[in-house]
Structure 1
Amino acid sequence: MLSLLTILVSLGILVSGVLAVALRNVLAAAVSAGLASLSASVIYILLAAPDVAMAEAAIGSGLATFILLYTIHKTGAGKA
């Protein structure tokens, strides 16, 4: 059961990563990249590495996505 859940979440990471690259909307691509990072933190929880999962969730999913969204807002790139 654990390996099936790990495979499903890994597929979610792959789909989110492909969407982050393929989407033309910068805002949607940034959110998709954050979702991929959040899914990676779920994988770390499933693999019994809670310290790595907390770091990934805080830095990868939280801080990096916030900085991307802030930059998109300041440059106005999300409006085009």
Structure 2
Amino acid sequence: MNLFRTVLLLMVGLAGTGVALSREPVRQAMALAYLGLLLTVLFVVFQAPDVALSQVVVGGVAFPLMVVLTVAKIRRSRE
């Protein structure tokens, strides 16, 4: 189980780095959604299901969706 936790923590770190290094807003939102889902798994593994439920809704779905919709609206208004 410790190996799984270590690998999961490394994946979260790499995903967070990927979000920070992304320059395209849509790709950054998709990477952020992936990071949110990884954090959800991490919270479940560390036995925090209430935090995991909040994370899956906010970090995995709501926030990336808002970013993508905002970018789409900005691009439409520029055209």
TM-score band w.r.t. shorter chain? 0.7 to 0.9
Structure 1 segments of 4 or more deviating over 4 A? none
TM-score (structure 2 length as normaliser): 0.84
Task: Output the CA distance in 2 between the equivalents of 1:75 and 1:17.
Answer: 25
User: Per-residue displacement from partner, 1:47-71 (whole Å, max 9, x unpaired)?
Assistant: 1111111111011111111111111
Look up the match of 2:75: 76
| Structure 1 position 35 matched with structure 2 position 34 | yes
After the TM superposition, which of the residue ranges 41-50 and 18-27 deviates more from structure 2?
18-27
Compute the RMSD of aligned alpha carbons: 1.5
Give the count of matched residue pairs: 76
Please, which moves more after superposition, 11-20 or 68-77? 68-77
Shift in Å at residue 24 of structure 1?
Answer: 2.3
Return the alpha-carbon distance in structure 2 between the equivalents of residues 7 and 34 of structure 1. 21
Deviations 1:25-45 (A, max 9, x none): 221111111111111110011
The CA distance in 2 between the partners of 1:63 and 1:45, in whole Å, is 19
Which amino acid in the other structure matches residue 45 of structure 1? Answer: V
Percent of residue pairs identical: 20
Aligned counterpart, 2:55: 56
* Structure 1 residue identity aligned to 2:30: V
Q: Which whole-Å CA distance do the structure 1 matches of 2:9 and 2:70 have between them?
A: 28
- CA offset at residue 72 of structure 1? 1.3
Structure 2: tracts of 5 or more residues without a match: none
- Aligned equivalents of 1:53 and 1:44: distance in 2? 5
